Amino acid sequence: MSQRLISRDPALKRLRDEGYDVSIINGYLVVGQVPYVTPEREVAYGALACAIGATGDDVLPPTDHTMRFVGKQPCMSNGARYEKIINQEVNEAVAPGLVATYSFSCKPPSGQYADYHEKVTTYIAILGTEAHVLDPTATAQAFLPVTSDGTDGSVFHYIDTASSRAGINATNDKLRGQRIAIVGLGGTGSHILDLVAKTWVEQIHLYDDDLLQQHNAFRTPGALSEQDLKSASTKVAFLAATYSRLRTGVVPHEYRVDEHNVHELVGMDFVFLALTDGAAKKIIVDALEQYDVAFIDCGMGLYKVGDALAGQVRVTTSTPDQREDARQRISFVDGEQDEYSENIQTAELNSLNADMAVIKWKKLNGFYLDLDHEHNTVYVLDGNMMINEDKDGDADHDQS
Residue by residue, pLDDT tens for the chain (400 residues) are: 577 789 889 999 999 999 999 998 888 999 999 999 999 999 999 999 999 988 877 899 999 999 999 999 999 999 999 999 999 999 999 888 899 999 999 999 999 999 999 999 999 999 999 999 999 999 999 999 887 766 667 898 887 778 767 778 889 999 999 999 999 998 999 999 999 999 999 999 999 999 998 988 998 999 999 999 998 899 999 999 999 999 999 999 999 999 999 999 999 999 999 998 999 999 999 999 999 999 999 999 888 889 999 999 999 999 999 999 999 999 888 754 445 445 466 899 999 999 999 999 999 999 999 999 999 999 999 999 999 999 886 644 443 3
DSSP 299: E
Q: Which residue from 240, 179, 160, 177 is spatially nearest to 208, judged by alpha carbons?
A: 240
SS3 377: strand
Q: Which residue from 134, 222, 136, 188 is spatially nearest to 299, judged by alpha carbons?
A: 188
Question: Positive or negative, the Cα torsion across 284, 286, 287, 293?
Answer: positive
DSSP character string of 325-354: HHHHH---S--TTSGGGTT---HHHHHHHH
Residue 153 has a pLDDT of 72
Q: Which residue from 235, 221, 30, 55 is spatially nearest to 140, judged by alpha carbons?
A: 30
CA neighbours closer than 13 Å in the CB half-sphere of residue 192: 34
Question: Positive or negative, the Cα torsion across 139, 144, 148, 152?
Answer: positive
Distance between CA 85 and CA 68 in Å, rounded?
A: 11
Q: Calculate the dihedral angle through the C-alpha atoms of 352, 354, 359, 364, rounding to the nearest 10 degrees.
A: 140
Supply the angle between the helices 235-243 and 187-196 in degrees, to the nearest 10.
20
Helix-then-strand count for the chain, H and E:
11, 16
Which one-letter amino acid corresponds to residue 255? Y
Q: Are 391 and 375 in contact (CB under 8 A)?
A: yes
Query: What are the phi and psi torsion angles at 101 (to 5°)?
Result: -110, -20
End-to-end Cα, the chain, rounded Å: 51
Q: Spell out the domain ranges in the chain.
A: 2-134, 168-389
Distance between CA 256 and CA 143 in Å, rounded?
A: 42
Architecture of the structural domain at 168-389:
3-Layer(aba) Sandwich (3.40)
DSSP 157: S
Residue 72 burial class via C-beta count within 10 angstroms: exposed 0-12, middle 13-18, buried 19 and up = middle
DSSP E strand boundaries for the chain: 21-25, 28-37, 43-51, 54-55, 58-59, 66-70, 86-95, 98-105, 179-183, 203-207, 250-253, 270-273, 295-305, 308-318, 376-380, 385-389
Confidence (pTM) = 0.74
